[in-house]
Structure 1
Amino acid sequence: MNKKVTYVKGQLNCAESIIDSFNKNNNTEIPVALGSGMGTGATIGSLCGAVNAAVLVIGYLKGRETYQEENKARSLANNLLKEIKNKFNSELCVDLKKSNVSCSEIVSFTYEKLEEILSKN
């Protein structure tokens, strides 16, 4: 993958980093602020912020506006979560931290899978 993801602890959180990197690599303007409350598993160790932001990007690009449209984002998000769970055995921040998965590692892997999934769809 030639596209770069940047995560620097103490700067943007994991979710903001996914959105910011996606914007820079794909010339999009998804508001980075959408990820501000997602870091550290929405502050309580829940769904990893990087994963959450990647799902948000998928929804932003592939989501629907009405119930009458096909929900393409749903299956793509499902594919992403399966990739995360397959690699790390969990998508929850608290579990990832207990397994010594670094934020940098999950951000990089999640971003790579996000770009891969979107490039195929």
Structure 2
Amino acid sequence: MIRGIRGATTVENNEQDEIVNRSLEMMQAIITANQLDADDVVSVYFTVTEDLTDTFPAKSLRQMDGWTYVPVMCMREIPVPGSLKKCIRVMVTARTEIEQAQIQHVYHHQAVQLRPDLKS
């Protein structure tokens, strides 16, 4: 079965190290919570708000063993007025036997307000 797994986090500053570290923290939580293996991941899409320009959050995956060949893409989030600032979102598409309702979506830091119904 193919499932989509969502996640989001925020940073305090538009700085490469913080963007990569928060993205890595979020991805590690998604991987652990959903028992993912890189070989089962179809693709990973990151989006960032327009105030994050210092680096690509995809760099976080390149720090993890076994994730070299996973297709990753970064895009800009739609700049909706009043939306959460300095936010990194992710959509992981993976093969898994986990039921849809059992997928663990991960929301960290200020991003918890995006989906309070999906506490992680």
TM-score > 0.5, shorter chain as reference: no
**TM tier relative to shorter chain:** 0.3 to 0.5
Structure scoring higher RCO (CA < 8 A, sep ≥ 6) equals 2
